[in-house]
A = this chain, B = another copy of it.
Amino acid sequence: MSDQINFSCPIPLSGYDKITLAHGGGGSFSYKLLHELIFKYLNSEPLAMEHDGAVMDINGVKLAFTTDSYVIDPVFFPGGNIGELAVYGTVNDIACCGAKPLFLSLSLIIEEGLPVEQLETIIASVKKAADRTGVVVVTGDTKVVGHGKGDKIFINTSGIGVVHANANISPRRAEPGDAVLLSGTIADHGIAIMASRSGLEFRTSILSDSAPLNDMIELLLSAIPDVHVLRDPTRGGLASTLNEIARSSNTGMHIDENLIPVKEEVKSVCEILGLDPLYIANEGKLVVIVPGNVAGKALDILRSHPLGRQASIIGTVTSDHPGMVRMKTSIGTNRIVDMISGEQLPRIC
């Protein structure tokens, strides 16, 4: 296996001795890397939760703490750039812990030669996105690496938020009988990036859905104290997110393809390229799992928010098939929706 990465197969074998792009794809290779290597050494309780962030009690204050490095290519894409993505992505992770985002750190790894003008545009977007979401960048770091040792700019943002009173959000809390809600159309971000990646021969009008979810989540948590799970389905798409929740909570998921909103243009691009929108990254969508009896109320709240107008109840949590996601397809058959192995497109966020 020692020279497996010399093959051009995008989905490498499972016994590996070198890191491959698939290990960063958010699918089963990422899962293996985490479980077989990282968690072997780093095994704190918050890490083992495999949530979007950690929740800790510090002197009686319940804080959420998250981190994410953004290595997206290209850094400017239809509907946004890496600066706002780095703010919204981390704000969303904090919010998905049931917390109100307050403070961000900003750490830049810049490749030598980046035009100062581009850096300025990115920093201006960071500021605008921070203002929009009500967070403050309080600390930072800047590193520069030589030409060919990075790729324009990588940004890490870490964030701190205060957990809402009574919120108890965890992927382990999905229970049979719960409803699974989705806030809107899937795959917009991934397809927008794919279409703007140099070398591809098509152009679309699809924009990334990159947006902050904290406001919509706050609405939800104030009205429904017993929200079980919140998650933004980024890398690996909706399918990987639901699989992770199913594994963490040891429940099954049953979803209905006809109830999952996908834009017509996104559907067409997926068909042309042979891609499955279920596995494609989103940057402004929310998965919500709540007890079945408040599903309607949760749906109304999502739909009342500009970012949730196309929200839908897409399925239920079941006790059968624990750890698996089943889907009734648009033609009426049933299929297993597995975790993706690698990633259809690397460096999507």
Contacts and interface: CB of A to CB of B under 8 A. Distances in A.
Interface of A: 5, 16-25, 30, 33-34, 37-38, 40-42, 44, 46-47, 53-54, 56, 58-61, 63, 65-69, 71, 73, 102-103, 105-117, 119-120, 123-124, 126-127, 130, 136-146, 148-151, 154, 156, 158, 160, 162, 346-347
A251 B140 CA distance: 25
A25 B5 CA distance: 34
Majority-rule SS of A interface residues: mixed
Contacts of A54: 103, 105, 138-139
A120 B40 CA distance: 9
B346 A21 contact: no
Counted per complex, copies of this chain come to: 2
Contacts of A127: 41-42
A46 B135 CA distance: 13
A12 B130 CA distance: 32
11 contacts: A17-B116, A19-B112, A22-B144, A23-B110, A23-B144, A37-B120, A41-B126, A42-B137, A56-B102, A146-B347, A160-B160
Contacts of A56: 102-103, 138
A67 to B, nearest CB: 4
Given A16-B116, A105-B65, A127-B42, A146 B346 contact: yes
B58 A144 contact: no
A37 B139 contact: no
Contacts of A123: 37-38, 40-42
B47 A138 contact: yes
A124 B41 contact: yes
Contacts of A113: 5, 18-19
A20 B139 contact: no
A344 to B, nearest CB: 14
Given A54-B103, A58-B63, A110 B42 contact: no
A16 B115 CA distance: 9
Smallest CB-CB A-B distances: 8 pairs:
A24-B144, A67-B105, A158-B158, A54-B138, A156-B156, A41-B127, A46-B138, A149-B151
Contacts of A59: 61, 162
B18 A140 contact: no
A78 B106 CA distance: 30
Contacts of A143: 24, 69, 71, 347
